[in-house]
Structure 1
Amino acid sequence: MTTALITGSTSGIGAAFARRLAADGHNLVLVARDTKRLRDQATELHDRHGIEAEVLSADLSTDDGIEAVERRLADRKHAVDLLVNNAGFGNKGRYLDAPLADELTMLKVHCEAVLRLTTAAVGAMRERGRGGVVNVASVAAFVPRGTYGASKAWVVQFTQGVAKDLTGSGVRLMALCPGFVRTEFHQRAGMGTDSIPNWMWLDADKVVAEGLNDLARGKSLSIPDPRYKALLGAAKLVPRPLLGTISSKTGRKYGPR
């Protein structure tokens, strides 16, 4: 049986990855900050699917938390075959509304942690000649819209660049870029969602299913819904300055309240 490590595993897309991978027979290493929720999740997945679910409590906004996960990924005796870098959050408000410390914490989680954990995982995977990494980004990566979008753009560029460098190694990397997904993301950030049209919402389990299919196909970028693929295709035709204006107005309409 193979083992998958998932950060931010207790809710949203991370929890959907855990459900799907456990159902497929993968053992799991579940990573999040809330130890009780992790233990409850591990027990449920073990009882339902008969897999082993290891709990690793870690705060990826701290060096200690990142180092704890790095050590687990580097453990050659208990190899991790698939890493899902899913942990992340959003800050409420436009630029200068959020404290600089919160913006820096976001970069720590979205960029530094992803870089360090990917590096720790890929080193061991390349030695074995197999493995995979899914870095969860967002369609926000493709429009000029604040620190969140900028951090996710970094995730996409980093992931695709590393995927190219590792061609032929047996290690696959993919950036997963969903749109609006019904998770705890907006609630935790204090963001209202009433203004977001129903057609823009995606189901986390469907996002994961399509993402894993794209990983198996060898794609380095997955936009897991035809509606968002069409929107991003249209966005490429819009001049960059105009796209920034549209993004700003859309963010005020559909973003934090």
Structure 2
Amino acid sequence: MLLKICIAMLAFAANSVLCRLALAESQIDPMSFSLIRVCSGAVVLLVLYLFSAQKAKIEWSLKNGFYLALYIVAFSAAYLHIDAGVGALLLFGTVQLSMVGYGLCHGEKINMRRGIGLGIAIIGIFILLLPGTTAPNLVYAAMMVFSGIGWAMYSITGKKMQNPLASTLANFVLAIPFVLLAYAVFYAQSFALPQGVLLAMLSGGLASSGAYVLWYAIVKQIDRVMASSVQLSVPCLAIVGGALFIGEPLSLRIVISAAIVLAGIGLVIWSSAGMKH
């Protein structure tokens, strides 16, 4: 389980790095990136489904497709004009609060160790991202919050899906019309250079499709609090990826903050395991 979680979180972070690479260097516009991302993801998932040994019945849910589209479109749009660190904080802070809040409203409990772990992880995120950053544009900050809500709801509804591959394929296919609508609205501003197209295809076909199948399999086995907590590692991983692939500065503060976040997540996981015995 831990290895699956690590792979999924690395893929989520890769999406941030790929999107920032494409948009920061003006290789593609946000809506074209979103459309290519969701279409390439759907194609890869279809191939995986066709070659799967057992073809489970596809569960079509328009609601899930909308949540996925909301996350993808708002994510790309926000990263065009918002600081990468602040954007990651807003995204996964929103995911954290949304999933924990939903869980508490539906009877999930937080014991002392789990609460402390959540607090430590959130403190680590604030240390990592807030100092030295400028206040984000409210419009684009709101877009990232909407993206976080979309991803939180997508993760929550994933617990009800019976087959991760078939469900994720359906969600990507149903997300296409919503993303296409957003693309049509901003068609006059669309452009795509070869590098931008490639980065969008890598994001959808590699970092999104397979990782989301894996994530749907994971969220069926863990509760909402743990699911939201482990995702707090993604901003840390994205910052490291930004330093390695985009040349963003990697300071001692970032390393220390990442360690604090991972320590908090570890406490949540340990606490969750203890609650099952």
| TM-score, length-scaled by structure 2 | 0.27
Bigger relative contact order, structure 1 or 2 (CA pairs below 8 A, ≥6 apart):
2
Higher share of residues assigned helix: 2
Higher share of residues assigned strand: 1
| TM-score, length-scaled by structure 1 | 0.28
